[in-house]
Chain A
């Protein structure tokens, strides 16, 4: 049963990852990549890392849908109605990626993996949380604040709905000029 799960999900992850570069439609390429990520998330759950696997599924679905929006917006031929290739330097990139895959896969087999010392934790999610948030608490807090400040800063710089955009240079315009009418506080 367990090996069935592996032999369904692992080839699915590899093949759909490969299909990203075979499709000539941005939408199909994006969702092929999503299927690859979903299969990887499934493999993590199969390995007993339920939390990590489920979070991979959760985040990747949202990320890939948002990526699809941008891929379609920016590519000249989003729907694949005209033939186009997803790759540059077709032969070279194929050779590099196959070689990299072979190298990494070979690395798995030739590494002298250590034998397990001790038993696996009863609750892997809890152990993971403790490993991240226990000794590394200060790092994680700093990281969290930095990332959050970066996001807020980027939004503030990019927004066209800031205070001065809405209320004018002297902040006296009433009602404020909003791109969409209605909303909160009006």
Chain B
């Protein structure tokens, strides 16, 4: 039984999320060093975290006639969305907020990135970052509906919108086993809302960094941290949705949650270097012609199984 912990535990969420994010960026640095043929040394591993004080001390870039209000608001929205989305994710046997509609909350908070990134692109009054912001909106229109159907599949399988309820409904069979299409669509959408890896198009190198083009110092840190926090929140949410939550032999529930979260994170970080960047217009076609029908069929299959057996197959 997953229980809700007191209100102060909401403050633990950003700390825990940041810790997992640190694991992800360190793993990313390791893979980058190996891909570049450099020797893996402790210096390489701490490099991404050593960036933090450097960026905090670095000078802020200013542009001509920026919309500073929307710019800063948009930048702050991205990490805030990651942390707020993570509030409903159970960790082992406890959850910071056992919200009855946790899945919808996660979806709503992840969608805040749409507004955040568009404002971050609009703010600096610069063509390249503006195009980056628009690219994310186009990408959002493509990834959002398949993601919603993937979330609906898991919720329908457990007959609950409560994330803890979904985790504990997988006692006999993990959802990933009988909802593989929903799981694959979900993982792709995690890349998409954190605009990393194959969905790094809004911050693409062909745009000189897109939404990141005019950012330096603390601003750059906030947006970069935000996308990695979103990736981590997405990976952590995959555990209660599809991988049985904290269930597992021998180890305590929190340890299984941590192990599974790190495993999904490593998979995502590894895949980020393996997959080519996909243009939003091409992904839109794939999403609407292939993924939405696939996700609907998946949700239908889940609904039929639940109706006939009253639970797992």
Contacts and interface: CB of A to CB of B under 8 A. Distances in A.
A75 B84 CA distance: 34
A77 interface: no
Given A61-B108, A65-B140, A34 B115 contact: yes
A80 to B, nearest CB: 8
Contact of A54 (B101, B281, B290): B101
A182 interface: yes
A54 B105 contact: yes
Nearest to A55: B104
Interface string B121-136: 0100100000000100
A152 interface: no
B108 A51 contact: no
A31 B107 CA distance: 19
A179 to B, nearest CB: 9
A62 B114 contact: yes
Contacts of A25: 67
B157 to A, nearest CB: 17
A31 B123 CA distance: 12
Nearest to A25: B67
Interface residues of B, number: 32
Contacts of B137: 65-66, 69
B69 interface: yes
Nearest to A123: B100
Nearest to B118: A65
A50 B125 CA distance: 38
Given A51-B101, A69-B134, A125-B161, A61 B112 contact: yes
A37 B184 CA distance: 33
B118 A58 contact: no
A184 B286 contact: yes
A184 B290 contact: yes
A57 interface: yes
A58 B114 contact: no
A183 interface: yes
A58 B107 contact: yes
Nearest to A23: B69
B165 to A, nearest CB: 12
B290 A27 contact: no
A28 interface: yes
Given A61-B111, A65-B118, A51 B104 contact: yes
Interface string A48-83: 001100110110011011101100000000010100
Contacts of A108: none
B162 to A, nearest CB: 10
A106 interface: no
A180 interface: yes
B58 to A, nearest CB: 27
Nearest to B283: A183
Contacts of A182: 282
B36 interface: no
B65 interface: yes
B144 interface: yes
Contact of A57 (B100, B108, B285): B108
Contacts of A31: 70, 73, 115, 119
Contacts of A57: 108
Interface string A116-128: 0000000101000
A62 B101 contact: no
Contacts of B111: 58, 61-62
Interface string A13-41: 00000000000010110010010000000
A62 B285 CA distance: 19
A28 B67 contact: yes
Interface in B79-121: 99-101, 104-105, 107-108, 111-112, 114-115, 118-119
Given A25-B67, A61-B114, A125-B161, A183 B285 contact: yes
Nearest to A50: B101
Interface in B131-169: 134, 137, 140-141, 144, 161
A79 B67 contact: yes
A123 B101 CA distance: 10
Contacts of B104: 51, 54-55, 58
9 contacts: A27-B122, A55-B104, A61-B115, A65-B114, A68-B118, A79-B125, A183-B285, A183-B286, A184-B286
